[in-house]
Chains A and B, each alone.
Chain A
């Protein structure tokens, strides 16, 4: 049975799933990268994702176009990000705790809305696979990289976009300054609170889309707590990727590849306990964090509320 795992078709299948499953991690983690680079820890990503997943699904379920679903998820994400900003930036709340509050709020509300507005698990037809002439027909490479729906491509496009925005734009410079030394940024006339509001909105928007990518892109259903803690992993991936877009990409792929492998192991009925396989990426994340935490410089003001001196 094990040799089945090493056939070309299976390996292509695993890599295809891996590339695809990285989508929600990428959206959510890249959004959280903006947030953390500006010195805020938004632990409520999972709650935002659930709200985004529900909203996107509901819009499509009611017969509206798929893109409306994505936009609605994005909008809900922004609102949730704003809520976090009011509590954590304006009210300077302890961010680890307010994030838990945001998570519970999103978890409960998405489930409440699902049960009252939909009631049972229903499917929708989500984003279809996009056939790219030429590229999709390539052997091996085609099915792995160019046989996905548009949200998957968009997620990967966010990697260079995030890198560029953070490293090459004035906005990114301000984000980094605010996260590294808010006092200095403030004295140079950068609004610390303003930038943090913006990054929380960006992070919220992307977390919302990450949720929608699950409910109308990858799985095409909505279930209560369907993220199953994915949003918390997304937060950890930002640390894992040492606050850089490329690092986040590596972490997201690691998680999604192991998940894909685990799914295929189940499909092929190979007698390896899949629960233990699912555990691997979490163990690996702890290990990587343990080995790198001392060397990596996190944004100096991460998770510290900023209050102007008198």
Chain B
């Protein structure tokens, strides 16, 4: 991937910065653990053992990594395109809702038709949800950070409404328990399990393939080049004749599509029904994974596995040494803070290399090599 031979050391440091950020976060976490009177070695040991120590742990890790990767790929597209998509949670929810409703509406369709159609519906609904934020930004000038946050809440309320009313499982009504979840999906729409008697499903393969697709899209197509150009320098892109607002909509819509697909995959692969908490914080954790992967689709793959392992390990740690798994949420936050803070170093060096006070390379400059992205300063409103 590293095509530019110059400054190999600098590039090595670029790659190591996120690793250092995680190490630093774990170090702070060790401080927390000591404060709680728990041996960090024992707690982290339980995490590693739980997440990677046996088949069950590994498959759980990969199962968690799947939605993280899908959301993270969407984040790569959005952030590369200079739009900040915080709406992953909402996009997952609407994707999962639509996929569930669709599969329940056409249970008699054959598998070869129903399964792809269900996943597609999930992706399209997420695309629509992300596209709203894109349209609001392009046409109305509404900050996408705010609109995606609002759309998260709206999606959440739609879910609460549907799962307590129209979509509530008839069996729940009959039993009088009224647990807010939908009826079970027909078996024809379940994603195949890759390892028997685990939750690990073929959605992981789909996500992996899409990582390649997103890479090709961003670095091998005109559309992808333009998305990145708009992200790096919107005004130069405008002069180059790129319709900037249209690409902002596109970036958000594609990002939403991947999150919506993540929702559909969770429903068809793991839960086999729609239920509360389906988004599981993946909308935010996906951002963390994408940042850790340097906003590169292929970097996001190992990043998703790492954060999937952290999520699974945290649950195991909770059971083994009674340390609440929320520790990992706060460590994720620290990773984000450390990664974005460390970008200053990358930015300063890039500028020195470009020479003088040129703030950001224009899209006319040779496209950056895949290994040295520095989407640090996203464009302003």
Q: Which of A262-310 contact B (CB under 8 A)?
A: 273, 275-276, 278-279, 282-283, 285-286, 289-291, 293-294, 298, 302-305, 309-310
In the complex, the chain B residue whose C-beta lies closest to that of A112 is: B326
B residues near A290, Cβ cutoff 8 Å? 136, 140, 142
B296 to chain A, nearest CB (A): 16
A42 to chain B, nearest CB (A): 12
CB of B328 within 8 A of CB of A108, answer: yes
CB of A101 within 8 A of CB of B165, answer: no
A residues near B146, Cβ cutoff 8 Å? 235-236, 239, 285, 289
Asked if B143 is at the interface (CB within 8 A of a chain A CB), the reply is yes
Q: How many residues of chain B are within 8 Å of chain A by beta carbon?
A: 55
Distance between Cα atoms of A96 and B84 in the complex (Å): 7
Asked if A105 is at the interface (CB within 8 A of a chain B CB), the reply is yes
Contact of B157 among A279, A291, A298 (CB under 8 A): A279
Contact of A96 among B136, B145, B329, B341 (CB under 8 A): B145
Asked if B106 is at the interface (CB within 8 A of a chain A CB), the reply is no
A81 to chain B, nearest CB (A): 13
A residues near B150, Cβ cutoff 8 Å? 236, 282-283, 285-286
CB of A91 within 8 A of CB of B136, answer: no
CB of A108 within 8 A of CB of B332, answer: yes
CB of A47 within 8 A of CB of B333, answer: yes
Contact of B337 among A105, A239, A304 (CB under 8 A): A105
CB of A276 within 8 A of CB of B161, answer: yes
CB of A104 within 8 A of CB of B154, answer: no
B residues near A291, Cβ cutoff 8 Å? 140
Q: Which of B323-381 contact A (CB under 8 A)?
A: 323-324, 326-337, 340-344, 347, 357, 376-378, 380-381
Chain A interface size, under 10 / 10 to 19 / 20 to 34 / 35 or more: 35 or more
Asked if B32 is at the interface (CB within 8 A of a chain A CB), the reply is yes
Distance between Cα atoms of A241 and B157 in the complex (Å): 24
Contact of A104 among B36, B143, B284, B324 (CB under 8 A): B284
In the complex, the chain A residue whose C-beta lies closest to that of B291 is: A97
User: Could you mark each residue 127-163 of chain B with 1 if its beta carbon is under 8 Å from any beta carbon of chain A, else 0?
Assistant: 0000000001000111101110111111001101100
B residues near A122, Cβ cutoff 8 Å? none
Interface centre among B136, B291, B326 (most CB of A within 10 A): B326
Asked if A92 is at the interface (CB within 8 A of a chain B CB), the reply is yes
B residues near A239, Cβ cutoff 8 Å? 143, 146
Q: Which of B222-259 contact A (CB under 8 A)?
A: none
Q: Which of A71-123 contact B (CB under 8 A)?
A: 83, 86-87, 91-94, 96-98, 100-109, 111-112, 115-116
Distance between Cα atoms of A243 and B74 in the complex (Å): 31
B102 to chain A, nearest CB (A): 21
Distance between Cα atoms of A79 and B226 in the complex (Å): 41
Asked if B288 is at the interface (CB within 8 A of a chain A CB), the reply is yes
Interface SS of chain A: helix
Asked if B86 is at the interface (CB within 8 A of a chain A CB), the reply is yes
In the complex, the chain A residue whose C-beta lies closest to that of B336 is: A101
Distance between Cα atoms of A104 and B164 in the complex (Å): 29
Contact of B341 among A98, A100, A279, A310 (CB under 8 A): A98
CB of B337 within 8 A of CB of A83, answer: yes
CB of B330 within 8 A of CB of A104, answer: yes
A residues near B218, Cβ cutoff 8 Å? none
B373 to chain A, nearest CB (A): 13
B358 to chain A, nearest CB (A): 12
CB of B378 within 8 A of CB of A104, answer: no
CB of A100 within 8 A of CB of B287, answer: yes
Distance between Cα atoms of A115 and B161 in the complex (Å): 30
A179 to chain B, nearest CB (A): 13
Asked if A34 is at the interface (CB within 8 A of a chain B CB), the reply is no
Contact of B378 among A83, A96, A116 (CB under 8 A): A96
A residues near B344, Cβ cutoff 8 Å? 91-93
Across the A-B interface, give the 3 residue pairs with the lowest CB-CB distance, nearest first: A108-B330, A108-B329, A105-B333
Question: What residues of chain A have their CB less than 8 Å away from a CB belonging to chain B?
Answer: 41, 43, 47, 83, 86-87, 91-94, 96-98, 100-109, 111-112, 115-116, 224, 229, 232-233, 235-236, 239, 273, 275-276, 278-279, 282-283, 285-286, 289-291, 293-294, 298, 302-305, 309-310
